Chains A and B, each alone.
Chain A
């Protein structure tokens, strides 16, 4: 049976922002649709409206000519619309099985049978009786998908599903999605990754600032044309000039170990690497394989053995982040709002937190506000942060602007080494481009970078050398030119 889903003149206005501005779209089963847009373009709002999480101010949704009243997620489920959210909607401490059955009224035995047959059909293998927190991101996503499939949906919406997946997991997901599509499920795929749109989808709708800007068939598009539609201007493609780097060692890690007392953290074992001046070392891996612990050890949030980290010919393993900054290291953590900045504090106050010795932010214990503000303004203009109000609370900056502010705060001291962890996570193409350009510039000034990232494309683009972290162990360090994303994917999955 054919499924036809129609969105008609949907508008959703938030204070100070039109999330969806009179959007109309039509979908038919048998095809995979991409909904493409930068962060804040309104695509998540639109699919949350389709799944009943958000109620639109105006507009109607029709499924096979029937006007749907979607006032809660339950309504969407009843109308056979299933959605896999970007941030998993799973209950971490409940078992996989409990997660799957929570919204169903059928008998447990019947459901188990049903789940088993779904898993057999699509070749999923997940232990149903372990708690969800023991699963990898890819497995968690499968749990979400199974949860939708139990209800035999007519429409399946996937919100940025690959942001946490490896290359292999992504291609497995694509195979499954194609299979679902052949079976008559209408698939709407939300993403800002252009490559995926080209690879997977049949039709693409592009959104920008809450408005629908174009609907077209994939065969008439290419990556550049889509990128330009998405951003609304011509993007320059950036490329790193690979030069012969110096062999002057800046940081040298030897026999670094970290054993955590928290069973949900990853232990690091026997980490050895070094980075030369002007070089970018990329560290790839699926999230949760020790990246966060490695970042914390490198930044000094976790203190390690004094001799395990040699930086600029000083042993600094036992120093805290502030002391490491004095040796000209700088850090950009993964979680922008929790680790890098304090959301409730103003921009200039957040700038003052990086209080390096020569800054004169504080005189005799008093805050030198003028000095800090002057400094903050310089960061904002130098690093293209899109605001002129330095008194703004940092939580109101978009992800991209906040990241620019953080990188700017770190770089203004011209450090010798910048350690960043997923610097472009969740950012839109424009902001990603800017951050990438900035990172390349750092290398050109003969400064070094350690880039811990789960985005393989980003690593291949920016790194001179790449290593992969898997279960707290680092693979051998490879020249970036010799590595392909397939090879990285295998190493990330624990293969050779």
Chain B
């Protein structure tokens, strides 16, 4: 049997494409959590991003407006979360869950009029180079700008947290908001910004799904990816590079199990469908089991409300 290298390249590219929304949402949520805020509304923000992007694309016809509109929608819905948890000091967990339920509901309502409408083609970059190098070309070239952005994001996030002043402040706030506040850092402002950034990334992840990955609107089309993104953040121990690894494993197994089902491998379908979830978590737990490192990268104040009593 001869394996076509370009076919392998295409499979890898499709794995990467399926990892994109996970990477975007996880890296956004990672920043939010590093500042000590636990936003369980990832799924809700993604689905809002998905419907906003698709609706804006259909209505305005502009892809740029649609992509940025989806991010803005993510920002707006996360503003609700930020206002509730930071200004009104509500519980992070309950508020986040409510946000997801709200997002799924409102997206279904808005989306009613968009079911069945075909999407637009999203332009890809470097298409002319697609046949130049065997194996690598399909992986490297011919993808949307969001795709390239997503694969750069973990490295940028890592650099931002480790090397920049603002990254340091975000980590400091997540470690001890009390100390940060006594150092003159505006804890609420930092946390607001991190929540809103997380919202923007989740909105973008949603827009990728409805505009690029499967260009159409289907109710509940995020299909639990938001929860996977949340799990990736935790099991990667708040490390963006490990998020990338986790997202690739998850995306890879999802694609491969589809192929296995198609070929008719004699393994129960339920087990195959569950496989990506199980393996991703096992791998991430194994690569992050150094308890010292976990302690050092876990935001100590995660999920705890902070208020200054003057």
Contact = CB atoms under 8 A, between A and B. Distances in A.
Interface of A: 51-55, 72-74, 77, 85, 88-94, 98, 101-103, 105, 131, 133, 262-264
Nearest to A87: B178
Interface residues of B, number: 23
B182 A102 contact: no
A93 B297 contact: yes
Given A89-B182, A92-B176, A102-B168, 10 more contacts: A73-B181, A73-B182, A73-B183, A85-B182, A89-B176, A90-B176, A93-B175, A93-B298, A94-B168, A102-B183
B292 interface: yes
Given A53-B182, A73-B183, A102 B172 contact: yes
Contacts of A53: 182
B266 interface: no
Given A54-B310, A102-B168, A264-B295, A92 B183 contact: no
Given A54-B310, A55-B310, A102-B172, A93 B182 contact: no
B178 to A, nearest CB: 7
B261 interface: no
Nearest to A92: B175
B184 A91 contact: no
A263 B292 contact: yes
A94 B184 contact: no
A88 B178 CA distance: 10
Contacts of B184: 52, 72-74, 77, 103
Contact of A94 (B171, B182, B310): B171
Contact of A103 (B175, B183, B296, B310): B183
Contacts of A89: 176, 178-179, 182-183
A93 B183 contact: no
Contacts of A88: 179
Contacts of B295: 93, 133, 263-264
Contacts of A77: 184
B172 A91 contact: yes
A391 B183 CA distance: 39
Contacts of B292: 263
Interface in B161-190: 165, 168-169, 171-172, 175-176, 178-185
B245 to A, nearest CB: 22
Nearest to B292: A263
B157 interface: no
A308 to B, nearest CB: 27
Contacts of B181: 73
B300 interface: yes
A74 B295 CA distance: 29
A91 B171 contact: yes
Nearest to B186: A72
12 contacts: A54-B310, A89-B183, A90-B176, A91-B172, A91-B175, A92-B176, A93-B297, A93-B298, A94-B168, A94-B172, A102-B183, A263-B295
B113 interface: no
A496 B203 CA distance: 63
Contacts of A54: 310
Contacts of A101: 168
B270 interface: no
A131 B175 contact: no
B300 A92 contact: yes
Contacts of B296: 93, 131, 133
Contact of A90 (B169, B179, B291): B179
Interface centre among B171, B181, B183 (most CB of A within 10 A): B183
Interface string B83-109: 000000000000000000000000000
A492 B56 CA distance: 69
Given A74-B184, A103-B183, A263-B291, A93 B300 contact: yes
A91 B169 CA distance: 10
Contacts of B297: 93
Nearest to A101: B168
A102 B310 CA distance: 23
A398 B195 CA distance: 38
A127 B144 CA distance: 46
A264 B300 CA distance: 14
Interface in B32-89: none
A378 B70 CA distance: 66
A422 B240 CA distance: 43
Nearest to A53: B182
Contacts of B179: 88-91
A105 B164 CA distance: 11
Interface string B286-306: 000001100111101000000
Nearest to A95: B296
A382 to B, nearest CB: 35
Nearest to A132: B175
Shortest beta-carbon contacts, A-B, top 5: A74-B184, A89-B179, A73-B184, A91-B175, A89-B182
A133 B291 CA distance: 14
Contacts of A85: 182
A264 B183 CA distance: 26
Contacts of A264: 295
A262 B169 CA distance: 28
Interface string B250-293: 00000000000000000000000000000000000000000110
A19 to B, nearest CB: 12
A55 B169 CA distance: 24
